[in-house]
Amino acid sequence: MTLWRIGYSARLLKTNRFRTAASNTSFPAVWMLLAQYSGRVPGLFVVVKKNNFFTMPETVEDKANLELYLPHPEVRGMTQLNREAFKRTVVVPVLKVKKEIVNTLLKSIKHMILQRPGLKRVVEDPEDEDSRLVILDPHKISEFSLGESDQEVLKQLNVHPEVSKYNLELTYENFKSEEILRAVLPEGQEVTSGFSRVGHIAHLNLRDHQLPYRHLIGQVIIDKNPGITCVVNKTNIIDSTYRNFQMEVLAGESNLVTKVKENNITYELDFSKVYWNPRLSTEHGRIVELLKPGDVLFDVFAGIGPFAIPAAKKKCCVFANDLNPESYSWLLHNCKLNKVGHKIKAFNMDGRDFLLGPVREELSRELPLLKEEQKTSFHIVMNLPALAIEFLDVFRHLLAGEPCSTAGLPTVHCYSFSKHDDPAKDVRERAEASLGTSLDGRCSTYLVRNVAPNKEMLCISFQIPAEVLYKRPCPDGAIPASKRVCSSRDFSEAKVELKKS
């Protein structure tokens, strides 16, 4: 294909880029490879700062001049990384310029200078030590010649407008991750993949067709992402008991003890033994934002403390529990690390036992002492989306006696997955079934994130209704003494019977 046609194709792609951006569709692969001059097209992995999730954009393959800036075609099918095999030479247009005016020229013609990360825009002239060669974008230069307006700019700077050819050597370091993987994997197979970054660890979920290339993919990720020294691939689903999973180290060191920073708080953990998901940082912050100094937080499935520790930092009283002994150990470690150990009471119990034990004891002691003017709130966080809703039945008649004021009733934040067409309705109905009462008009649901196609993670928040939380002593004489403890509904019915008599 001639350089004129290359430039024409790039201009067409530029038009398509703006069209597709409006409809939020994928860019053509050739645009991703050739149109980097704009400075606005992301590379392989786009950093989402809120949750540390990195993703390669979907691309649509285009046959137009893919050889330019692509690795050598012989790398196709490579499974063990050989960086030397990626070398190749391409011909690019250059301008010969006196070295003392290079900076001025760069500012004047920046719209047609080659803008590609890792490549020098200015190189030495092998034939003249007093001159430099300025590399131009071949997609802006038709047939290695400049337009009249560009020639006029060069004349004003006393630069000869003749465009020369230059053999530019490209190496492994000059190619982006997506370009390398697209060149290596079988043609037509998807190379898109995402990873979560947990400190120095990149966590992948590779698809079956990518597995033969997994060690190469891991090494490429290390090479192209500073700070990552270990790449792992999940090899099974998350265990519902301890919320961890088996993994294979694909590349780099095998050290899985790492340090992360979330919402300005530092945590340390063994990623192979505890649950940590950087995509939940925004949700952790959202819940903690609801708390006020002096509030009480019960974290039923606390993990290593992403709800508990920032809540304690906010001067809340925190009860944190996790069944996994490793999570409990790292929770204690992170409490000390963040100097909040005196504000957090930590437990290593089953979630149901935690609710029936420490939570019930604390609520039984504190709720009767609340006065109307006091503003202490009680929050119960249940972040085990695979099972948490099944624990809600614990709240049925958890406490005995008369209910406190409505404002003092604990607020529950319960997480759940849903594959339903109406996930909010689905989660509410399942919560109602566990509680044995309607939450219509008494709850809110919040979409946390999309976990997979047709699978959402939601948080349902509600104050536990008094008729659910309390069992009350029945009025004397209403029923036999052997049945003097009854529910709120029984209590109301007994009062009606007394009035009738």
Q: Measuring CA to CA, which residue among 342, 240, 352 is closest to residue 300?
A: 352
- Check whether 342 is labelled as a binding-site residue: no
Amino acid occupying residue 485: V
- What is the C-alpha separation between 388 and 94, in angstroms, rounded? 64
Q: Count other Cβ atoms within 10 Å, centred on residue 126.
A: 9
- What is the C-alpha separation between 257 and 402, in angstroms, rounded? 49
- What is the C-alpha separation between 446 and 167, in angstroms, rounded? 56
- Check whether 322 is labelled as a binding-site residue: yes
Q: Count other Cβ atoms within 10 Å, centred on residue 175.
A: 25
- What is the C-alpha separation between 444 and 166, in angstroms, rounded? 64
- Check whether 284 is labelled as a binding-site residue: yes
Q: Count other Cβ atoms within 10 Å, centred on residue 293.
A: 10
- Check whether 324 is labelled as a binding-site residue: no
Q: Are 137 and 119 in contact (CB under 8 A)?
A: no
**Residue whose structure tokens are 């310029």:** 97
Q: Are 307 and 288 in contact (CB under 8 A)?
A: yes
Phi and psi at residue 150, in whole multiples of 5°? Answer: -70, -35
Question: Across the strands, what pairs with 462?
Answer: 412, 443
- What is the C-alpha separation between 265 and 337, in angstroms, rounded? 10
Q: Measuring CA to CA, which residue among 205, 260, 206 is closest to residue 228?
A: 260
Q: Which helix (H) or strand (E) holds 418?
A: strand 411-418
Q: Are 92 and 138 in contact (CB under 8 A)?
A: yes
Helices (H) and strands (E) in the chain, counts: 14, 24
Q: Measuring CA to CA, which residue among 467, 462, 286 is closest to residue 379?
A: 462
Instruction: Please provide the DSSP assignment of 133-195 as one string.
Output: EEEBPTTTSGGG---HHHHHHHHHTT----EEEEEEEE-GGGS-HHHHHHHHSPTTS----EE
Task: Work out the widest C-alpha separation in the chain, in whole angstroms.
Answer: 115
State in Å, rounded, how far the first CA of the chain is from the last one.
100
38, 150, 313 from 111: Cα distances, Å: 9, 10, 50
Per the annotation, binding residues are 284, 322-323, 350-351, 383
Per the annotation, binding residues for S-adenosyl-L-methionine are 284, 322-323, 350-351, 383
